[in-house]
Each structure stands twice: as C-alpha cells, then as structure tokens.
Structure 1
Amino acid sequence: MTQSIVVQVGQCGNQVGCRFWDLVLREHAHVNQMGVYDEALSSFFRNVDQRRGADSTGSRITALKARAVLVDMEEGVLAEILQGPLRSLFSSTQLISDVSGSGNNWAVGHHTYGLVYREQIVDQVRKAAEHCDCLQCFFLIHSMGGGTGSGLGTFVLKLLEDEFPEVCRIVTSVYPTAEDDVITSPYNSVLAMKELTEHADCVLPVDNQSLVDIVGKIQHMSNTGKLGCAIKKDCTIISGQGGVVKVEKPFDAMNNIVANLLLNITSSARFEGSLNMDLNEIAMNLVPFPRLHYLVSSLTPLYTLADVNIPPRRLRPTLPFVPWNQEGWKTSLCSVPPVCHTHSLLALANNTCVKSTFFELRECFVKLYRRKAHLHHYLAVDGMELAEFNEALSSISALIEEYTHLESPLMPNAPRLTIAT
C-alpha cells in the first residue's frame, strides 16, 4: 500500500484540509468498524502505538496521526485546530505558524516567510516522508488570492520538487472571484500561476464563485422542496455538520465540496476496487503536455439523496476528444462509496475551457499592473523584483496561447512532435 502526505498552506488551505480529515475519518470509521489499523488507514494515517490487539488482522487503533504538514503565517486557524476535535491527529511540530500573516502580499509569503521557514518546513516534510513505506504523492491545498496561500504555498511546492523530485505533486488551488475583496488578488494569483505551471504535476483549480453558486443553489432546492424527497434536509456534502466536527461554521459548506473532491480522488488509493488506479496515473493519462496540467473536476452527487438510487452513466460516448488523442481516458472503480451514498462519480478532464478563467485573471492583473498600482508593497520586500511581474505575465500569456493553439481547427493537421533517435 502506498502513502500520501497532505500539505495545507494558509487559512483556506487549512480550513479545507480540516474538512478533508473530518470526512475521511468518518468514512474510515464507517467502513472499519472493528477499529483495526489496516492498509486503507495507513495511506493517510500512521498508528503511533503499535501494540497488538486481540484481533489477528492488525494493530488496534490507539492513536492516529495524520500524514500532514500544516502551515499558516497567522495563528488563528492552527490554534483552533490544536484546541478542536481534530487536535489528536496532529503533533504540535506538524503545525508551523507565525503571528503577523503575509498581508495579502505574495512576495511576503514567497520571499520573506519562505526564507525564514524553509528549513523547518523541509524538516517536517522529511519526517512525514520517513514514516511512509512507499510515498506516492503530495497533496498541496492552498488558495491563490491571499499572501500566504499563494506565496508561501508555491514556495513549498518548489521545495517538494527539490527534495522529492520523483514524488507526484497534486495541487488543489482555490481561485478568487473577479470581485474578490482582496484588491491585490490578481497580482497574487498570476504570480502563483507561474509557479504552479512550472512545478506542479497536476493542478485542480477550484473557482470560489462556483462554490458559492453551488451551495446557494442546492440550499435553495433543499429549503423549497423543489426536488421533493430527492434531497435530504441535512445534506452531509453541503452541510458542515456531522462527523468529528458537529458545529457548522462559515464557509464549511463550500470547503466540504473541495474536501469531497479530495475524498473521491483518493478513494482508490485507500480502498479496494474492481479497477484501481494509482494517483500518479492521473498525470500519466491526463497530461499530454507538461505545462497544460490544469484539470477540470466534476463531482456528483453534491448532496445526500433520499431513497434515490441512480447508477452513474458512462460518459465516454458523449464526450468530444481531440483527433490526435482519442484514447485519453482512464477509469477507476472503487468498491467503497462515500458515507450516506450508494454511489459517487468524479470526472477529471484536461479541457481547454480553463483558458477563459486564466484570460479573465490576466485581464484583472493587467488593469492593476498598467497603472503600477500597489507595486510598492511588493517591491519593498527583500528578494522581490519587478521582473517577476513581467515573467508571471509572460507565463500566463504563453499558457493561454498554448490552450488556444490546441483548440484551433488546424490543430489536427499540425506537425507531430518528433522523437530524436
């Protein structure tokens, strides 16, 4: 059995991460009612007490520790974790924090805090890796609009590549809306995009506005009874209640959607199935060009169905594929559905539709950059240079151009890559 390590950076990254740990514990408790430390649990947890129980199948679960490193330059969220119901999952050394935050400034997170906390972060990641028998994947969770998630998050991504170049790096990035209340979020997002393009194996972009719309729509349907008995009133996917954490907090419903995305991606790595898939196969099958590794995710159901059993429909015949990659398809079947569900379907697609998101982000960046607005906050940070803004703008422009080229009608007749012999 392989293991994975979750690295949570910034307020959003840690809040989403905590929802993931809450849901994954609930799922394992539902499946593993004997309380035995088995291979499924070992994929994301280690048992720090290896005393054998009466059961011959394995060690009794006495003290689980998450295979995780939690980083935030503000103390609030991490302090809540240490005082909350998930506190036993983490040792205090797994949590790395400061007091002042990054001030919504990518440069502070990337250059200032990256330099200060580099060795401490590397040390904790190495310790987590040493507890793995077969480390397969790093999951990095962060947001793009603030300073710590974007700046320090992408700094950590580069560290993971430097220290563990052979280990797959899958990044879940929460993108801000165009009306984000952080005025510098276009700067932070585009600067972070350059790092994601260069150092990640796969990126799962999550649009914050889409999360808001999904939660609002399903809550409206649930409250009005529009779909009759199809939706249960207490939707475990949308609601933040249930599991270890009993009280719902702001953004929990949105964070639960992202956490369920991670839950579904990792289910095949945690449980047996008729057609399992290694996590590193995602990049192998879905990323034909190294820079174009932004995968669009679709998940169903997003709410708990009441007495409705609809098996997932096979999507392959309905999807258009580019002529030069008709077999770009991978299926994985896991025998364990999420708690309270009879089935669940996750689709990941490498689609040129992400270009529109990047285009809008670039436009917001250019509006600020054309007037050199707020640049002095960034250039006052040691190690930050104006050239980084130009490089980031060039990087996202090149990315957009690559996607545009691929969706061009002339693309099927374009010259193929030649392999040197």
Structure 2
Amino acid sequence: MTQSVVVQVGQCGNQVGCRFWDLALREHAHVNKKGLYDEALSSFFRNVESRRSDRGACVVSGRIQQLKARAVLVDMEEGVVNEILQGPLREVFDSTQLLTDVSGSGNNWAAGHLTYGSTYREQIVDKLRKAAEHCDCLQCFFLIHSMGGGTGSGLGTRVLGLLEDEFPDVCRIVTSIYPSEEDDVVTSPYNSVLAMRELTEHADCVLPVENQSLVDIVNKIKLMSHGVKPSSMIKRDSTVISTQGGLSGAEKPFDAMNNIVANLLLNITSSARFEGSLNMDLNEIAMNLVPFPRLHYLVPSLTPLYTLADVNVPTRRLDQMFSDAFSKDHQLIRADPKHSLYLACALMVRGNVLVSDLRRNIERLRPSLPFVSWNQEGWKTGLCSIPPVGHSHSLLALANNTCVKPTFLELKERFTKLYKKKAHLHHYLHVEGMEQSFFTEALASLSSLIEEYHHLDATKTRLTPDTPRLSMAR
C-alpha cells in the first residue's frame, strides 16, 4: 500500500487541509464501521498507541490507537494552527509536525520565500523527512496553499522547491487558491506572479482554484437550499455543507468555500484511499495528463455540487453528472474548456458506476470536446467504488486545457498595472536577497507560459466524424 503526505502552508492552506482531514475521517468511519486500522486508513494516516479515545481513534489488536495525519502544517502566524489544536481534530495532528511563527509574512512573497524560507529551511526539511520516514512506500506530496498572501505564495513555493530537492522522484501535486480580482490584498498580483514561476518550474501538477469561482458556487448552493426547487434541497449531511471543518469557534463565511476545495482533494485521493475496479494511481495523473512539462495546470470540475443523488441513480441523472463535469458552472476556475483546446482529460468517478456507463458517456461527450489533433484519445479514467458520504456517486474531471490562458492573462495585466508604476515595490526590495530581477523573470516566465498556450490554441481544428474511436487508457 502506498502513502501520501499533505503539506499545508499558510492560513488558507491549513484551513482547507483541516477540512480535508475532517471529511476523510468521516469517509473512513462510514466505511470502516468497526474502527479497525486497515490499508485504506494507512494511505493518509498512521497509528500510534493512545490511552484516550478521541476523534480519529481506532482499534488494533484490542488496543486503542490514535490516528495521526500524514501531514506537515506550516504557517508564519499562529492563529489558524492554534485554532486547529483547540478543535475536534487536535489529536489527529502530530505536534512535532507543526511549524509556526508569530509575525506573519505581511502579504509579501519575498518575506515568505526568502526570509522565512531561509530561517526555517532546516526545520521544514526535517519535518518533511520525518513524515516521509513514516511511509512504507511514499507515492505523492500534496501541497495546499494560496497565491495571494505572503506565506502561502512565498513560503509555500519555497517548500515546493525543497520537496523537489529532497524527494526528486516523488510526485508533487499542488492545489493553489488564486485570488479574485477584487482581492483585498493590494500586492496579490505580485505574490501570485512570483509564485507562478515557482509552480511552473517545480510542480508536477497544479490544480488552480479561483476564489471567485468558489464564491459563485457557494451562492448557487445557497440558492438551491433556500427552496427554489424543493427536490434539490441540500441535506445536512452533504459534504458541501460546512460543519466548521474541524475548527473551533463559529462558522466563517469562507468555510463553505474551503469545503469545495476539500472535496476536490477527497476525490483526487479516493483511489489511493479505497479500492475500485479501475483505480487510478496518483503518479498516473502527471504521466497521462501532462504532455509538456511546463503545461501542467489541470482545470478541476466537481459534480454533484448542488443536489444529493438518489440511492438508485437513474441513467438520466448519471449522464447529467458527466455533462455537468464539462459545464463552466462546475469548473473551479472561471473558464469554459469546451471552447478551448484539450491536451488531455481525466475522469475520476466514485460510487456505484459501471465501466460501461463510463465508456458510454465518454463516447457521448467526446465529439463535442475539441482535443489536440495528436491526442484525440487522451483520456484517463479512474473508478473508485466508495462514494462520498451522503452521495451515491461523484465525479472529478481534470482537464489539461488551454482555457487557463485567460486566467493567466488577467493575472499578468493586474501585475503589469502595479509594476509599471513601481507601486509597493520597495516593500519587496527591502527584503534581504530580493532583487528587481525576480519580478522581470517571473513576468517573463508567465508570458512564456501564456504564449505556449496561445500557440496550441492556434492549432485548434474541428473534429471530424471519422475521428478514430476512443481507446480507454488503463
């Protein structure tokens, strides 16, 4: 059995990560009624002997064991990590795998990447190594961070570089939360573009998620739950409803947004945590979806978002789930992949879905999806038998698609507006080791990435009726 380690950096990364662990425990408890430590649990949890029976406890050979998350938590402010340690998941995290400071990065990529990155380098490497040593067969690192703040963007990408240095052969999948255009951090365009260069150079796969898309989805969920369609009410046990995500205190406005990202992580890790007739190895994501090393930004879409399916799923509703996965309303960035070029696509299905239904829906949808001419059969599929709690089935689609280009263009424009005026630049240049060349090189890297997507877009051609039939990737 392979294991993976989750690395949470910054306020956003730790809040999303905490919600992931909360929901993951809930899924395992739903399946593992006797609370026994098994192979499924070992993929993301290890067990240590305990005298207490707190949240996350299980039984091994008649003894109470405490599950410990295979996680490293890093933040340069204490608030969120302290909140986690006071919440219901406090026993799930190993205190030796936490790293905090008190002053924060001041929304400054340079402070996070250079100052804290240098100060805490050895401690971070030590914690990463210890997490890896607890794994029998380390398969993947999942890094969760935001792009707009200082710690998430700066220290988060510094940790990514350390992962590549220390574990060059272990897959690095990054979930990056991009700020909205109305972000209240004025320097977020600087932080995001500086971080983008690191993501492009050091990640194997990046799952970009936009705050504005999360806001839009949460608003739609609220609309559905307020009785617009009585049959579409969101039930209390739905995984899209926030239950404070394992944190203490009152629910916050962004908790529901964090839940959606946590559900993305639940789905992408499901085949590593549970059995399935067509399970997808995490390493296969990069192998099958990234034909060019720099173009590794995979657009995620998640369904169902608004309704809980019946136990016996009618074919029509199952087909609708596949159609929704390619609808812009279900994308976690504001993009419409059906009007852009696909380089590859993965469908990760959970629940009681037949392989024949999977094949049939791909055949049904494929003619409407413009694939690059040399990879028109570029599909990867995964089928995990265990659905999310409260659902009978779910689907995560990961599209390597040129539709990310407008998001990157908008980010470049926001960066350029600030940089032309040299606004706030002095805050960065006062940081030891930071030079103006960091900005010009980051902008050049982003411009080059956009140009690569643009070049592919220019090759887009219509699919013809005699396109070769799909051959399922395995």
C-alpha displacement of 1:284: 0.4
Q: How does 1:248-259 map to 2 (within 5 A)?
A: 248-259=251-262
SS at match of 2:5: strand
Counterpart of 1:397 in structure 2: which amino acid? S
> Superposed, which structure 2 residues align to 1:158-173 within 5 Å?
158-173=161-176
What is the TM-score normalised by the length of structure 2?
0.83
Query: Residue 373 of structure 2 aligns to which amino acid in structure 1?
Result: P
Determine the C-alpha separation between the residues in 1 that align with 2:217 and 2:59. Answer: 46
The C-alpha deviation readout for 1:212-234, integer Å capped at 9, x for no partner, is 010011101211x2222222343
Give the structure 1 partner of residue 213 of structure 2: 210
Structure 1 counterpart of 2:7: 7
**What is the TM-score with the length of structure 1 in the denominator?**
0.93
Quote the Cα distance in structure 2 between the aligned partners of 1:229 and 1:60: 45
> Would you say how many aligned residue pairs link Structure 1 and Structure 2?
408
1:36 aligns with 2:39: no
d(CA) in 2 for partners of 1:40, 1:228: 37
What is the DSSP-based 3-state SS (H/G/I as helix, E as strand, rest coil) of the residue aligned with 1:188?
helix
Q: Of 392, 403, 413, which residue of structure 2 is paired with 1:363?
A: 413
In structure 2, the partner of 1:175 is 178
Q: In structure 2, how many angstroms separate the alpha carbons of the residues matched to 1:202 and 1:96?
A: 25
Residue matched to 1:404: 454
Aligned counterparts of 2:242 and 2:179: Cα–Cα separation in 1: 21
Structure-2 change in CA distance of 1:34 and 1:392 (3 Å):
same
Cα distance in 1 for residues equivalent to 2:125 and 2:302: 33
Tell whether 2:239 aligns with 1:189.
no
Distance 1:343 1:66 in 2: 26
Where does residue 21 of structure 1 map in the other structure?
A: 21
Partner of 2:152: 149
Supply the AA of the counterpart residue of 1:118: R
Amino acid corresponding to residue 237 of structure 1 in structure 2: T
1:174 positional shift: 0.2
2:289 corresponds to 1:239? no
Q: 1:137 aligns with which of 115, 121, 140?
A: 140
Task: Flag the 1:251–1:199 CA change in 2: closer, same or farther, 3 A.
Answer: same
Q: Secondary structure at the match of 1:63?
A: strand
Instruction: Tell me what 1:373 maps to.
Output: 423
* CA distance in structure 1 between the partners assigned to 2:36 and 2:23 by the alignment: 18
Using the alignment, how far apart are the partners of 2:429 and 2:401 within structure 1?
36
1:26, 1:243 within 8 Å by CA — same for their partners in 2?
no
Indicate the percent of aligned positions where both proteins have the same amino acid.
76
Which of 112-121 and 236-245 deviates more? 236-245
- Alignment counterpart, residue 333 of structure 1, candidates 374, 378, 383: 383
Deviations 1:47-89 (CA, angstroms, capped at 9, x unpaired): 11299xxx99977651110000000000000111111111101
Query: Given that residues 237 and 253 in structure 1 are in contact (C-alpha distance below 8 angstroms), is that contact kept between their aligned partners in structure 2?
Result: no
Deviation at 1:156, TM superposition (A): 0.1
Instruction: After TM superposition, give the deviation of residue 238 of structure 1 in Å.
Output: 2.7
Q: 1:56 to 1:160 in 2, by over 3 A?
A: closer
CA distance in 1, matches of 2:420, 2:228: 48
Residues 1:117 and 2:120 aligned together: yes
Across the aligned residues of Structure 1 and Structure 2, the Cα RMSD in angstroms comes to 2.1
Cα separation, partners in 2 of 1:306 and 1:324, compared to 1, 3 Å: closer
Report if aligned partners of 1:142, 1:174 keep a CA contact under 8 Å in 2.
yes
CA distance in 2, matches of 1:121, 1:307: 46
Determine if contact 2:36/2:59 at 8 Å carries over to the other structure.
no
Say if 2:324 is the partner of 1:321: no
* Structure 1: gaps spanning 5 or more residues: 413-421
Shift of 1:119: 0.4
Cα distance in structure 2, aligned partners of 1:248 and 1:3: 32
331-340 vs 238-247, which moves further: 238-247
2:444 is aligned with 1:394: yes
**Which runs of 4 or more aligned residues in structure 1 lie more than 6 Å from their structure 2 counterparts after TM superposition?**
55-59
* CA deviation profile, 1:85-108 (whole Å, cap 9, x unmatched): 111011222110000000000000
Contact kept, 8 Å, 2:238 with 2:308, in 1: the verdict is: no
In 1, the alpha carbon distance for the partners of 2:30 and 2:422 equals 54
SS of residue matched to 1:40: helix
| Equivalent-residue separation in structure 2 for 1:205 and 1:69 (angstroms) | 21
AA aligned opposite 1:195: E
**Alpha-carbon separation, structure 1, partners of 2:285 and 2:63:** 33
User: Structure 2, unaligned stretches of length 5 or more?
Assistant: 52-57, 323-360, 463-474
Equivalent in 223, 226, 233 of residue 220 of structure 1: 223
> 1:328 corresponds to which letter in structure 2?
G
